[in-house]
Amino acid sequence: MQEFTNDPIDIEALPNYEQAQLKTLHPKYWNVVMIHIGIFLFLLAAGIAALVVFNSEAKQHIILFSALYIVLAVLLIALNRADISRRGFAVRDKDIIYRNGVIALTTTIVPFSRIQHIALHEGLFARMFGLAALNIFTAGGSSGSLHIPGIEIGEARRIKEMLMKQITKTEE
Amino acid sequence: MTMDHDFSKPQKQSASGIIIMFANTLQKVIRAAALPVLFIFIKSGGQHTWAMVSGSIALILILAVFAYIRYVKFTFFLDEDKQEFIINKGVFSRTTLTIQLNKIQQVNINQSLLQQMIGVYSLDIDTAGSDKKEASIKAVDHTTATLLRQKLLSRDTSTTESGQLAASEAESVMPPFLKLSNFTLLKVGITSNYGASIALLTGFIFGLFELIKDYNSAFEIEENQLSQAFNRGFSVFSLCFLLIAALVLILGTNIIRTFIKYFDFKIIKQKRALAVSSGLFTKHNTLLKPDKVQLSAYSQNYFQKKLGMLNIKVKQASYSSADEEDEKKSAVEIPGCDETERDEILKMIFDHIPAKGKPLLPNYRFLFLRIMLCIILPLLAVFLLGSFFLTVIKPHFVLAVPYVFIVVTLLYFEYKHHRLYTNDNFVIKRSGIWDIEHEIIEPHKIQAITAKQYFWHKKADVGHLTIHTAAGVIHFKYGNYTHIKNLVNYWIYKVESSKKDWM
């Protein structure tokens, strides 16, 4: 308790997380998401086609099926588009901020000193576009950890290196 | 003292550990082989009884030898230079378990019924972190157990000092700081665990409905006046009987459970730690280190308030508990203490009694979604179903009135109790409907913070807050978002500027 000081803190003067410049995900990440959606829609279309061909009763509702299919496809693409455009992250001096969410905008802040370990994940399609995902784990379990996809691989590596340095620094 | 207390050399367990090892293996073998053996026995029509008996004896002998080898091969030692605790074990394949001392969260000393008879203790080491390992030593004597625990947990103090300290602790019997009498346990058993009780009661209420239905049909048939009157009398009688039986059953199980878990509950104050011990059949002994505590909570319901008692729960870091809602494993529960004792315990943990800061109130929108989910949607479903498909339930639509009344009352209480108190040193969240719980954390124990806002709440400036700790999360919903954002900035500043570590 020797160095104890108790100066009043001006809350307004504290660094505001909302003012941090968020970096959006790499534009190529949209391609990865589109591939995922495409695969899903293709499988769904194949399923519907099989149903229509082999089931005479389903044949009568072919227009309804296709209408529903188109609505679903449009909705999926629009929601994912909105989702990706809203995502963003920022690395500050002492923490990392991640924002995401379509109907609810969620911002999570993880201080460097609380990071347990970091993982760099390169998915199959992401790698084709030179992208990677950063997984940042804290002792707060999966809810208190970050998963940031769609970062250019070189940058992801740089961030990881930097965070690793920060972790060892705080541990000393 | 039969054992050498120099932990730097590989040590064996107590010799009586062979019995524990043998019992463990025997239990496993019986569990695995009992059914097939029984099957063979029945199939053979009891012809080969002698062969079976001699086979069993041979098996037991083999197991005894096996237990002895396991005992010989099981060694543990403390590497003071590397700050590691190492366990070597295994008969056919050797396993080396290395535990870094700074990863150890908790060391518990437990004693099962068999261990009590032999007079040995088991030492369970709980580690946190993603590399999940569990280590336990099954049979050591009391002095070894306490000494080893002290050494495993004292990574920052100089080893010689703590060694002497532990020795003195092991020898001298200090007066307990808190001791629960059987009467207190009875009170705890009667007043807590209503969640399980209510679940049981609903089962009984369904049973009652069945009875009422029978009664109604009996009334409509109008067979014999006499038998009808008899029927009615009988069902009223059995109704009351059932109700009383249900209550007795629930309270009985509650009391028995409380006694098994908390019998002879004691807290002994030690230097920078609390030793908590309890248990009727299995004795649990946990050492609570204040700086390892992540989240503390105390709860009280209406009856407990009248009796002047509350339950305390202290949670330490655990990787599994941070994800799951039930944090039973890493939580130390202290039931039935009064307010002065609570303050004393909180003072031990936090250095001073946490004061409730400025309260943050939830917006009235807090009720909207809940009313929608708990009242409007289910009632709508029931009305639609009753009007078009299941017309049988139509006459019971009136029941919606008491339902709405009860649920609204409960929701109102939930809303009323939902508060977040914050000051410079503490975050206290109050919540609950019947059991009102206060969860307390210190800002430097925060792992991450999430602020969340639905787009339709933007105009009303309402949002949600989630504080992630190593022992679970704290949610505060429908608060003033500007205020929440300020708090987030403040806590992040606190975490990043403070030199205090979270563990």
Choose from A12-16, A107-111, B38-42 the range with maximum mean pLDDT: A107-111
Q: Does residue A13 belong to any structural domain of this protein?
A: no
How open is the CA angle B217-B221-B226, to the nearest 5 degrees?
100
| Residue A162 C-alpha, separation from nearest chain B C-alpha, in angstroms | 17
Structure-block tokens of residue B250 = 């629930």
Structure-block tokens of residue B180 = 């629960």
Question: Which stretches does DSSP call E strand in A54-168?
Answer: 88-91, 95-100, 104-111, 115-121, 131-138, 146-152
Q: Which of A107, A115, A166 to mutate to test the interface with B (most CBs of B within 10 A)?
A: A107
State the pLDDT at residue B232: 61
Number of CB atoms found within 10 A of residue B420's CB:
26
Q: Does residue A169 belong to any structural domain of this protein?
A: yes
Name the 3-class secondary structure at A137. Answer: strand
* Average pLDDT score over residue span A9-30: 85
Structure-block tokens of residue A56 = 């005479």
Q: Say if B242 is an interface residue toward chain A (CB within 8 Å).
A: no
- Is A36 or B136 the better-scoring residue by pLDDT? A36
State the pLDDT at residue B160: 40
Q: Does residue A154 belong to any structural domain of this protein?
A: yes
Q: Name the DSSP class of B287.
A: E
Which chain B positions have a beta carbon within 8 Å of A109's beta carbon?
448-450, 488, 492
Structure-block tokens of residue B381 = 């479903």
| Alpha-carbon gap, residue B492 to B477, rounded angstroms | 19
Q: Which helix (H) or strand (E) holds B35?
A: helix B17-43
Please list the residues that pair with B453 across neighbouring strands: A105
Of B150, B105, B84, B149, the closest CA to residue B329 belongs to B105
Q: Does residue A7 belong to any structural domain of this protein?
A: no
Q: Name the DSSP class of B315.
A: E
Q: Do B490 and A14 touch (CB under 8 A)?
A: yes
- Regarding an ipTM greater than 0.95, the answer is no
| Residue A37 C-alpha, separation from nearest chain B C-alpha, in angstroms | 25
Helices (H), B310-399: 319-323, 339-350, 366-371, 377-388
* Average pLDDT score over residue span A25-40: 93
Q: Does residue A33 belong to any structural domain of this protein?
A: yes
What's the number of CA atoms in the CB half-sphere (13 Å) around residue B385? 11
Count of domains for chain A: 1
- Average pLDDT over all residues of chain A: 87
Q: Name the DSSP class of B373.
A: I
Write down the number of H helices and E strands in chain A: 5, 7
Structure-block tokens of residue A16 = 């505001």
Q: Which helix (H) or strand (E) holds B454?
A: strand B446-454
Query: Between B128, B323, B451, which is nearest A143 by CB?
Result: B323
Query: Between B322, B492, B503, which is nearest A17 by CB?
Result: B492
Please list the residues that pair with B474 across neighbouring strands: B467
Which domain, by its residues, includes A109?
21-172
Asked if B165 contacts B149 with a C-beta cutoff of 8 angstroms, the reply is no
Question: Which stretches does DSSP call E strand in chain A?
Answer: 23-24, 88-91, 95-100, 104-111, 115-121, 131-138, 146-152
Question: Which stretches does DSSP call E strand in B24-130?
Answer: 75-79, 84-89, 95-100, 104-111, 121-127
Q: Which of A1, A11, A143 to mutate to test the interface with B (most CBs of B within 10 A)?
A: A143
| Residue B502 C-alpha, separation from nearest chain A C-alpha, in angstroms | 8
Q: Does residue A3 belong to any structural domain of this protein?
A: no
How open is the CA angle B70-B3-B10, to the nearest 5 degrees?
55
Which residues of B, range 402-461, sit inside 8 Å of A by Cβ?
446-455
Tell me the domain boundaries of chain B.
17-171, 182-262, 289-362+418-497, 366-414
A167 exposure class (CB count in 10 Å sphere: 0-12, 13-18, 19+): middle
| Residue A104 C-alpha, separation from nearest chain B C-alpha, in angstroms | 4
Q: Do A139 and B323 touch (CB under 8 A)?
A: no
- pLDDT < 70 stretches in chain B: 1-5, 46, 128-134, 155-174, 193-201, 204-205, 209, 211-235, 318-330
| Residue A128 C-alpha, separation from nearest chain B C-alpha, in angstroms | 30
Q: Does residue A2 belong to any structural domain of this protein?
A: no
- For the stretch B128-167, pLDDT in tens is 654 445 678 888 888 888 888 888 877 554 444 444 444 4
Rounded to whole angstroms, what are the CA distances from B268 to B126, B174, B348?
21, 7, 12
Q: Does residue A95 belong to any structural domain of this protein?
A: yes
State the pLDDT at residue B2: 43
Instruction: Report the C-alpha dihedral over residues B394, B396, B402, B405, rounded to 10 degrees.
Output: -20
State the pLDDT at residue B382: 86
State the pLDDT at residue B161: 41
| Alpha-carbon gap, residue A74 to A70, rounded angstroms | 6
State the pLDDT at residue B430: 93
State the pLDDT at residue B174: 67
Q: Do A138 and B489 touch (CB under 8 A)?
A: no
Q: What is the CATH number of the domain that holds A143?
A: 2.30.29.30
